[in-house]
Structure 1
Amino acid sequence: MDKVFRALSDETRRRLLDRLHEQNGQTLGELCERIAMTRQAVTQHLAVLEDANLVGTVRRGREKLHYLNPVPLHEIQERWIDKFERPRLSALSAVKRRAEEAAMSDRPTFVYVTYIRSTPEKVWEALTDADLTAAYWGHRNESDWRQGSRWEHVRTDGSGIADVVGTVVESDHPTRLVTTWIDPENEGQEDKYSRVTFDITPHEDIVRLTVTHEDLWDEGALSDVSDGWPAVLSNLKSLLETGSPLPQEPWSVRGR
């Protein structure tokens, strides 16, 4: 934790973390474009952040991509904030969220939370890997999962038909994924788009997965997703914890 506090004590390093929070997975060159410093100086600051485990790197060909690692910040929050302020902050957060939701839209919103014995990386993979989604969802989620990219929810019967399409709004591997959803027949109709957010939060050996499906166009759509999401996420949980989806498709027993 001493390394984390040392890394955070410098304004430039905090700005670098802000840049990665805005757009994760940047190269050194991309980071330098927004920081008025030499490449060597930025490299030195990134080395301090890596040593504190606040930044991780991944090689992609010749490029070295930098990713924000929020875990040390979460540990600071747990130690220095949560145990003292959790009840009050939770209440204020709930008030703020409800006020913002009311201000933004009167359209229905569905929220579902589940806890999975897994890691954020594996949960992210289960949501974005086409073969894994086919195993527990009955559809393949196909995309490169970059911000602004198209994604499709494709049937596994070989027809190639996509029952849902949309755009990747946010892609913050492995903690947050936001996409728009729409029936392909209604593409271009703004009032027919809904929005799904997957928030993946680690808690020691388990992960809290929160799914928020908002801007649903009517109460009928809310009823449909209220049945659908629990079934899909139960199957996902089974796959990650046991290696196999449930022995029977859970959506086939809805309403019984």
Structure 2
Amino acid sequence: MSETELIFKALADPTRRLLLDRLRERNGQTLRELCEQLAMARQSATQHLDLLVRADLVTVVRRGRERLHYLNPAPIHEIERRWISVFDKPRLQALSAIKHQAEEYAMTSVPTYVYVTYIHATAEQVWRALTDADLTARFWGHANVSDWQPGSAWEHRRADGSGVVDVVGKVLAAEPPTRLVITFEDSPDEEREASAVTFLVEPHEDIVRLTVTHENLPNLDMFNGISNGWPAVLSNLKSLLETGDVLPQSPWEMSAAHA
């Protein structure tokens, strides 16, 4: 069964769609929490979640002894790009804007953002790409500068020679080559708690699974911004490691042009 067929099979079942709805309402739930909300036996929920994980619609992040379940927007984004947006994009964008505005008023908290991608590379290569200033400048348009020791500061400097720093933060955890946790402050002058980004690099034979979790987002504007930004940045990273070069055009510019 192809990846696309697996995605559509997963979405065809009303119970699995309900699980996705529950995660959309509150991302990062344990199996026990999902079972309580759905009045579902643990074994049944596990079977449905396993299929959602195989379809990459849900990703599992270990937090100590807990296994937290997160929505992965990448497959649905690909379905939207291939099957929906090309047919009636202006009208769909207008309807989507109305829907998002209504949801913004109803939403009491900003969800955690999780993105998963698979890369033909070693864990060490992915770690170096995330922490080497010259490599980040190539695929991100910014050099990430730090000694990457826990407690150290890091800066997200523009690669255009201006030296402008757009994001700052601190290194909360560094466990090369598999786990990096940083704070992410794009508006350091504002009095608010910084969001946090976790990069989890899981090697498997000749590939790695890279999971990026962005938590404690201050508002929906930032959530919407990173929802476009992270897929663009990570696609460029994947291209660099697998082909030796970044994409021919900056993917975040495409996101802005089609917004």
Could you say whether these structures have the same fold, taking a TM-score greater than 0.5 normalized by the shorter chain as the test?
A: yes
Q: Does 1:122 align with 2:125?
A: yes
Check if 1:162 corresponds to 2:133: no
Residue 186 of structure 1 aligns to a residue whose secondary structure is coil
Q: What's the counterpart of residue 194 of structure 1? A: 195
Where does residue 248 of structure 2 map in the other structure?
A: 247
State the shift of 1:184 in Å. Answer: 5.1
Please list the CA deviations of residues 186-230 of structure 1 after superposition, one character each: whole Å capped at 9, or x if unmatched.
26x233x11000000001110000000111111111110000000
Say if 2:214 is the partner of 1:213. Answer: yes
Distance apart, 1:159 and its partner CA: 1.5
Residue pairs, 1:67-216, within 5 angstroms? 97=68, 106-183=109-186, 185-186=188-189, 189-191=191-193, 193-216=194-217
Under a length normalisation based on structure 1, what TM-score does the superposition of the two structures give? 0.59
Q: In structure 1, how many angstroms separate the alpha carbons of the residues matched to 2:113 and 2:189?
A: 21
Measure, in 2, the Cα distance between the counterparts of 1:185 and 1:178.
18
Structure 1 position 96, deviation (Å):
5.3
Conservation of the 8 A alpha-carbon contact between 2:168 and 2:188: no
Structure 1 residue 157 displacement after superposition: 1.5
- Preserved contact between residue 136 and residue 239 of structure 1 (Cα < 8 Å): yes
Provide Cα deviations, 1:141-196, integer angstroms capped at 9, x if missing partner: 00000000000000011121110000000000000000001125426x233x1100
Count residues with an aligned counterpart: 161
- The aligned amino acid for 1:123 is V
SS of 1:210's partner is strand
* Contact 1:168-1:179 within 8 A present in 2 as well: yes
Q: Which amino acid aligns with 2:175?
A: D
Considering only CA atoms, is the larger Rg found in Structure 1 or Structure 2?
Answer: 1
Q: 1:235 to 1:98 in 2, by over 3 A?
A: closer
1:115 maps to amino acid:
Y
Look up the equivalent residue of 2:147 and give its one-letter code.
D
Indicate conservation of the 8 Å contact 1:162/1:184, yes or no: no
1:218-237, aligned counterparts within 5 Å?
Answer: 218-237=219-238
Gapped runs of 5+ residues in structure 2?
Answer: 1-45, 51-59, 71-107
**TM-score, structure 2 length as denominator?**
0.58
Specify whether residues 154 and 201 from structure 1 end up closer, same or farther in structure 2 by C-alpha distance, changes over 3 A only: same
Q: Percent identity?
A: 57
Tell me, which stretches of 5 or more residues in structure 1 are unaligned?
Answer: 1-86, 100-104
Equivalent position SS for 2:151: coil
Whether the 8 Å contact between 2:110 and 2:223 is mirrored in structure 1 is: no
CA–CA distance in structure 1, aligned partners of residues 161 and 136 of structure 2: 15
SS at match of 1:226: helix
Cα distance in 2 for partners of 1:208, 1:230 equals 14
Tell me if the contact between 1:117 and 1:241 (Cα under 8 Å) persists in the aligned partners.
Answer: yes
Q: Pick closer, same or farther for the CA change 1:195–1:243 going to 2, 3 Å.
A: same
Alpha-carbon distance change, 237 to 125 in structure 1, aligned in 2, over 3 angstroms: same
SS in 2 for 1:135: helix
